[in-house]
């Protein structure tokens, strides 16, 4: 009996001695394993709205909203400027009519009237030509800017699609690795590396897209050149109209038979 | 007494003549015999042309602000950067 008791005690002690280290070790390993396993749990347990595709969708919506805002702003300011320019031109037309009327008042007589009519026709043609040139320069600048914005949009859209493809592929790869029992820490590390690479590619693509910006300067230069030419042509036409009118008025014989070398001087 | 009155009158005449002579002189002719342009009345034809040219220049200048729209090219930069700034919920 005493022998049996001793044997049982010895067996129990042996069992405790063998099992205790295992259970302590398991307890010590449990937090780390839970943390690493938690990454895969978190990855698979995310709500649909937290997955990459949904997050990318939201970013895409934010970008689209901003683009619409920019387009609306451009339309508003352009419409406003067009309206203002139309008002200015109407005022200029009215002022020009007054100027012609004043000339007619200062230089009476049929011959002077005919000379002023010719002057008016030349001036009207010069004004119309300048306005046409200004409109063309304006339209060209606007189209160029719209094209640059569209080109940038296309480049950004392509970059964001590539980012979406890369991120969703990385996400799927991570989920598959978790399902295959890969060490969660390894899964996490690989996913982070894939994401970093995808975002880096995206940034590079965006930087290249930003190079569309310098396309603006040629547009500004071209517009300025067109506006300068329109002004120069207009000035030349006005100088000729002025010279023609002065010559015509100077040649007019007044009713009394005196040569008005200058009707112009007489009117002063 | 008469002499004094006559003397005073002579002085007044002299002073009056001096004032009349002090009026601004007419512009001296230029070498070409023309009156300097500063004093010349504006030519109505020149005035007319200057007025028309000024109006059209003002209209053209009003379109200069169009170039400021170039800033809209980069207006979406913040939204674009958000694509690469996000950690997509992964820590």
The pLDDT value recorded for residue B40 is: 66
Nearest to A74 by CA among B76, B19, B80: B76
The predicted model gives B19-37 an average pLDDT of: 44
Test B83 with A56 for CB contact under 8 angstroms.
yes
Query: Is A24 exposed, middle or buried (CB count within 10 Å of its CB: 0-12, 13-18, 19+)?
Result: exposed
For residue B73, the model assigns a pLDDT of 82
Residue A1 has pLDDT above 50, yes or no: no
What would the mean pLDDT of A22-35 be, rounded to a whole number? 42
Q: Is the pLDDT at A179 greater than 50, yes or no?
A: yes
Q: Does the beta-carbon distance from B79 to A231 stay under 8 Å?
A: no
Nearest to A95 among B42, B55, B82 (CB): B55
Confidence category of residue B46, pLDDT binned at 50, 70, 90? very high
Report the alpha-carbon angle A58-A62-A64, nearest 5. 115
Across chain A, where does the E strand assignment appear?
Answer: none
Instruction: Find the mean pLDDT for residues A112-139.
Output: 98
User: Are residues A106 and B52, on separate chains, in Cβ contact within 8 Å?
Assistant: no
- Per-residue pLDDT of A82-121, as tens digits, reads 999 999 999 999 999 999 999 999 999 999 999 999 999 9
* Alpha-carbon gap, residue A238 to A38, rounded angstroms: 83
Mean predicted confidence (pLDDT) in B51-70: 93
Q: Which of A50, A92, A220 sits opposite B56 (nearest CB)?
A: A92
Q: What is the mean pLDDT of chain A?
A: 85
Q: Is the pLDDT of residue B10 over 50?
A: yes
Q: For residue A182, is pLDDT > 80? A: yes
A33 pLDDT more than 50: no
pLDDT, average across residues A140-160: 93
Query: pTM (2 decimals)?
Result: 0.72
Q: A37: pLDDT confidence band, cut at 50, 70 and 90? A: low
User: In chain A, what residues touch B80 (CB-CB under 8 Å)?
Assistant: 63, 156, 206
Q: How many CB atoms lie within 10 A of CB A235?
A: 16
**B59: closest CA of chain A, how far (Å):** 6
Chain A interface test: which of B74, B84, B91 (most A C-beta within 10 Å): B84
Helix axes A110-179, A52-106, angle to 10 degrees: 180
Separation of alpha carbons A164 and A134, rounded Å: 45
Of A63, A188, A191, nearest to B80 by CB-CB distance is A63
Q: How confident is the model at residue A31 (pLDDT cuts 50, 70, 90)?
A: very low
Q: Residue B77 has which token pair?
A: 């930069």
Instruction: Check residue B23 and give its pLDDT.
Output: 47
pLDDT, position B39: 57
Band (A7; pLDDT cuts 50, 70, 90): low
* Position B49 pLDDT exceeds 80: yes
In angstroms, what is the C-alpha Rg of chain A? 42
Q: How many CB atoms lie within 10 A of CB A226?
A: 17
Query: Interface pTM (ipTM) of the complex?
Result: 0.72
Residue A194 to residues A189, A190, A207, A256, B89, Cα–Cα distance (Å)? 9, 6, 20, 99, 14
């Amino acid at each position: 009996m005493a022998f049996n008791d001793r044997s049982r005690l010895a067996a129990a002690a042996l069992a405790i001695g063998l099992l205790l280290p295992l259970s302590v070790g398991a307890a010590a390993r449990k937090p780390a394993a839970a943390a690493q396993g938690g990454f895969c749990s978190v990855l698979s347990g995310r709500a649909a709205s937290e997955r990459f595709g949904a997050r990318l969708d939201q970013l895409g919506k934010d970008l689209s909203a901003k683009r619409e805002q920019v387009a609306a702003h451009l339309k508003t300011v352009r419409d406003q400027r067009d309206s203002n320019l139309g008002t200015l031109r109407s005022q200029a037309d009215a002022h020009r009519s007054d100027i012609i009327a004043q000339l007619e008042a200062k230089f009476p007589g049929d011959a002077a009237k005919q000379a002023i009519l010719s002057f008016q026709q030349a001036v009207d043609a010069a004004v119309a030509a300048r306005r046409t040139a200004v409109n063309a320069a304006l339209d060209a600048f606007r189209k160029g800017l719209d094209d640059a914005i569209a080109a940038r949009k296309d480049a950004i859209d392509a970059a964001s699609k590539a980012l979406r493809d890369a991120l969703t592929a990385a996400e799927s790869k991570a989920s598959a690795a978790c399902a295959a029992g890969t060490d969660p820490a390894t899964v996490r590390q690989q996913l982070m590396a894939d994401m970093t690479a995808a975002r880096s590619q995206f940034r590079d693509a965006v930087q290249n897209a930003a190079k569309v910006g310098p396309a603006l300067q040629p547009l500004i230069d071209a517009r300025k050149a067109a506006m300068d030419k329109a002004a120069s042509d207009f000035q030349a036409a006005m100088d000729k109209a002025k010279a023609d009118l002065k010559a015509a008025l100077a040649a007019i014989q007044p009713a009394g038979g005196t040569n008005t070398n200058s009707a112009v001087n007489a009117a002063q | 007494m008469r002499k004094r009155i006559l003397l005073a009158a002579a002085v007044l005449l002299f002073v009056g003549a001096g004032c009349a002579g002090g009026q601004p002189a007419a512009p001296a002719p230029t070498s070409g015999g023309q009156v300097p342009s500063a004093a010349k009345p504006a030519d109505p034809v020149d005035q007319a042309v200057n007025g028309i040219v000024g109006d059209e220049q003002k209209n053209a200048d009003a379109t200069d602000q169009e170039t400021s729209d170039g800033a809209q090219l980069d207006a979406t930069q913040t939204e674009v950067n958000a694509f690469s700034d996000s950690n997509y919920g992964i820590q």
